[in-house]
């Protein structure tokens, strides 16, 4: 009984497939099926990728210079992507990493301009290292503001958040002035890594870049970094400045 139904179904599907693809009557249907699959993937089904080095820069940091990086990239289709992010700071004189963070996220386009992202973050530095679960949204707000907001839950159970916003003034076809703001906050203390609850750090920057090509642009700028609240206390206890204005110079690139 089942066998009859199945064979009828197979016959029906085969004949309807035949009816649906006129070229099968003239060419080897197996060859046509291969060509159809290739046609589909070549017309909207491609995998794409991006590597974007947003900030690869030197910060003067009041005589204690830092190398700072922030980069991200993705591999995927139009809707679903695997997204990587990394950022950190290297103290040039002392030859050590102050912060080093990597994220691996699943990203899904949920609207024309916004991606919802979830995944993991691992902080190699500071010590002790931490792992976090991440959820965030990245995209383009009206009036061309770029946002990236993320919530982190650490393996110690501490909840924290980060918001980055950028805007670009086009001075000429190749000269861009980019204000940038980053806020970090925590919902509880994590004294081991020097984070206190409340607004912990803020960075405001203004960078002027020249796009020699769209893909490669050196820049100069200024960055103001400051800590707040308990985080500020932790930083001061370590004998570091809680309020710094730095000259910056770096490159932005993508490929």
Partner 1 sequence: MIRLRQKKIDRRRFLQKTAAFGGALALQATMPAWARSGTHTDLSGLKTLSGTQFDLHVAAARHTIDGEQGRAVLINGQLPAPLLRWREGDELTLNVTNHLKADTSIHWHGILLPFQMDGVPGVTFPGIKPGETFTYEFPLIQAGTYWYHSHSGLQEQLGHYGPIVIEPKSSDPVAYDREYVIVLSDWTFEDPHRVFAKLKKMSDNYNFQQRTVDDFFDDAAEEGFDKALSERLMWGAMRMNPTDIADVTGATYTYLLNGHSPLENWTGLFKPGERVRLRFINAAAMSIFNVRIPGLPMTVVQADGLNVRPVETDEFQIGVAETYDVIVQPEARQAYTLMAESNDRSGFARATLTPELGMVAPVPDLRPRPTLTMKDMAMDHSTMDHSQMTHDGMDHAAMGHDKSSMNKNGTHEHATGPGVVGLAMNPTNRLAERPNGLEDAPHRVLVYTGLKALDRNPDTRNPEREMELHLTSNMERYMWSFDGVKFSEVDGPIVFYKDERLRLTLVNDTMMPHPIHLHGMFFDVVTNEAAKATDPYKPRKHTIVVKPGEKLSVDITADAVGDWAFHCHLLYHMHAGMMRVVSIRDEVAPT
Interface residues toward partner 1, by CB under 8 A: 19-23, 26-28, 31-32, 34-46, 48-50, 78-79, 109-113, 140, 142-144, 169-174, 212-216, 253-255
166-to-13, 23, 138, 139, 147 alpha-carbon distances in Å:
53, 52, 12, 11, 7
Whichever of 35 and 120 has its CB closer to partner 1, that residue is 35
Q: Quote the DSSP letter at residue 144.
A: G
Q: How far is the CB of 176 from partner 1 (least distance, A)?
A: 10
Whichever of 6 and 50 has its CB closer to partner 1, that residue is 50
Whichever of 167 and 247 has its CB closer to partner 1, that residue is 167
Whichever of 14 and 50 has its CB closer to partner 1, that residue is 50
88, 92, 98, 102 alpha-carbon torsion, rounded to 10°: 20
Rounded-to-integer distance, Cα 23 and Cα 3, Å: 30
Residue appearing with tokens 């992507």? 81
Q: Quote the DSSP letter at residue 217.
A: E
Whichever of 31 and 127 has its CB closer to partner 1, that residue is 31
Whichever of 21 and 67 has its CB closer to partner 1, that residue is 21
Q: How far is the CB of 143 from partner 1 (least distance, A)?
A: 4
Q: How far is the CB of 33 from partner 1 (least distance, A)?
A: 9
Q: Please write down the long-range contacts of 120-128, taking CB distance under 8 Å and 24 or more positions apart.
A: 121/152, 123/99, 123/193, 124/88, 124/97, 124/100, 125/88, 125/97, 125/98, 125/99, 125/100, 126/98, 126/99, 126/193, 126/194, 127/193, 128/192, 128/193
Preceding omega of 29 cis (within 30 degrees of 0): no
Q: How far is the CB of 76 from partner 1 (least distance, A)?
A: 10
Q: How far is the CB of 173 from partner 1 (least distance, A)?
A: 5
Whichever of 2 and 42 has its CB closer to partner 1, that residue is 42
Is the distance from CB of 202 to CB of 184 less than 8 angstroms? yes
CB atoms within 10 A of CB 112: 7
Q: How far is the CB of 113 from partner 1 (least distance, A)?
A: 6
Q: How far is the CB of 45 from partner 1 (least distance, A)?
A: 3
């Amino acid at each position: 009984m089942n066998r009859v139904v199945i064979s009828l179904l197979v016959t029906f599907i085969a004949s309807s497939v035949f009816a649906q693809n006129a070229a099968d009557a003239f060419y080897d249907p197996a060859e046509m099926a291969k060509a159809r699959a290739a046609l589909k993937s070549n017309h909207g089904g491609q995998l794409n990728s991006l590597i974007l080095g947003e900030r690869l820069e030197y910060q003067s940091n009041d005589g204690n210079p830092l190398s700072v990086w922030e980069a991200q990239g993705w591999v995927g289709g139009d809707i679903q992507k695997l997204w990587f992010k990394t950022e950190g700071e290297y103290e040039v004189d002392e030859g050590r990493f102050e912060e080093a963070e990597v994220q691996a996220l699943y990203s899904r386009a949920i609207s024309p301009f916004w991606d919802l992202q979830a995944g993991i973050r691992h902080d190699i530095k500071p010590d002790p290292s931490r792992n976090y679960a991440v959820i965030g949204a990245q995209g383009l707000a009206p009036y061309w503001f770029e946002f990236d907001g993320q919530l982190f839950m650490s393996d110690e159970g501490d909840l924290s958040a980060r918001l980055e916003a950028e805007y670009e003034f086009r001075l000429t076809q190749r000269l861009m002035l980019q204000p940038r703001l980053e806020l970090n906050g925590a919902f509880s203390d994590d004294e081991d890594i020097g984070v206190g609850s409340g607004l912990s750090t803020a960075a405001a920057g203004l960078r002027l870049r020249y796009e020699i090509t769209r893909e490669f642009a050196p820049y100069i700028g200024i960055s103001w970094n400051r800590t707040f609240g308990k985080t500020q206390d932790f930083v001061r206890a370590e004998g570091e400045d809680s309020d710094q204005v730095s000259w910056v110079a770096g490159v932005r690139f993508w490929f």
